Structure 1
Amino acid sequence: MLDVRRLALLAAVLDSGSMTAAAEQLGYSPSAVSQQLRRLEKEAGQPLLQRQARGVLPTEAGAVLAGHARHVLRRLEAAEADLAELAGLRRGTLAIGTFPTIASALMPRVVSRFRRQYPDIRLDVRSARHDELIAMLESGRVGISLLWDYAWDRVDPGQFSLTPLLDDPTVLVVADDHRLARRRSVTMAELADEDWIVRAHDHPVAEVLERSCRAAGFSPRIAFEANDYQEAQAMVSVGVGVALAPRTAVSAPRPDVRVLGLGREAPSRRVLLAHRPDRLRAPAELAMHQMLVDVAREYQTQP
């Protein structure tokens, strides 16, 4: 195996015309350069230089090897430049996980801001269900991901490094002609006689509804199971029932529904930013992390 450092010495000697000049250029002594080149000749198995009174000339093998050496050195310089660009947030790809309600509420402004500041970083944003996001984090398919949890089912802090981004309160969605539509907030006790629209397939908001109603002293009467929050809003709008939803899920509500506050009447969820603690974090990931923290803070304080 040829030594790259000795190849660099060979190229430097031939480019400068002498061992003395190469030694001065590289900060070696002439004897050290001569010794390293003799080792390179032994590695190559043949003479590489013709030593003359006023310098050195390459043998045929030396000229061939010096050409390869220059090519290798150029590629190493290119690799160093690429790494410098990555470190300087000038190139690369950042894969980030998110989930639909946050993807619609926060991610557009995050992506827009990130692209303005770091136009050469390609964003790979992947929206998925909670268990899929966990799997993507574990496998490294995404470096960071937005997650959520409730008090009774927390994300394991021993599995990921977690940064709380915002508290996402539960709100009530009613039709615009509902008896409570002109209110800004209500209590769960006022909703004991309502029909309810809930998310299907054991969605966590069904657990939120069950816990909230039980705390208010009644059991919810389920009228419809929706597959997503848009479908839930549509059924609410025509009077099938009322629904609970995280605030971020109705950040852009239909014009024929109203969103009412519940205060502490219903549990809220945490929105978290997660990454694996054993990963080396790239500068682009750290920049995105801070941007998500900043945008979440802005969102939390808006009316």
Structure 2
Amino acid sequence: MQVYIMDLSRNRLYGSIPSCFANISFGMAAGESSFVTSLIRFNAIISLSSYYSSNLELNSDTSGSQRPYRQAEAEFTTKYRHNSYQGDILHYMFGLDLSCNELSGDIPAQVGELKNLRALNLSHNKLSGSIPVSFSSLKQIESLDLSSNNLSGQIPSQLTELHFLSIFNVSYNNLSGMTPDKGQFATFDRSSYEGNPSLCGSLIEKSCNSSEVPPTTVPFDGEENDTMVDMVAFGWTFSASYAMVLLALAAVLCINPHWRYLWFNSVDWIIYLCFKMFS
């Protein structure tokens, strides 16, 4: 039996994601009857509103006397569009939803082998480790939601090879490094990355410099240098002025005897007062 949509969201599943998920064949094998559409659903009847959701209703139709078959109808939300599909069209809608559980551990690299998936939702779990590079093999993927987990490390640059990816959400994890900005990733905004303080890049308007640039101290250094220059200039100016005063005083005393007489009398009077004060 081929599986088209597997919805295990909103349960209480815990533990790690089994690597044997890679053994599930998403798609229709050659020669398979188009009257059988495999929709697997084990979740509460809750309408999902995240980036990818599937609200599956299996309606049995036994009209006719030839052979009974089960006509399936699924509500499939991707690319922000909510549509209902029924019948053979579901052969092209391949999705896996494990969101809103308690799954933990690393995401198995084998999930990248589900190459027919168009939507993968692992959000709102407790998954850790890094985003598998093998996700770059999901060439048909249109919606990838890994938000609200504990994923760490960098976003693999190989994911830019996913040319049909239109919804990408890794918000509220512990990712770090530069956000990809090529291919479809150039169309994603900061809402796809919020809640990851260690991420950087032009798309989220955060510089990727390894160290923060310290506040400039040029004005302070300039003021200090200006102060030093002013002190040196003041010293030279004061010395020159003092020398000029002394030379002017000596010239006056030499030229004018009256001023010379008053000068020496004043000096004698000062010496006398000092002698009398300390004697």
Same fold (TM over 0.5): no
User: Which range, TM-score by smaller chain?
Assistant: under 0.3
Q: Which structure dedicates a bigger proportion of its chain to helix?
A: 1
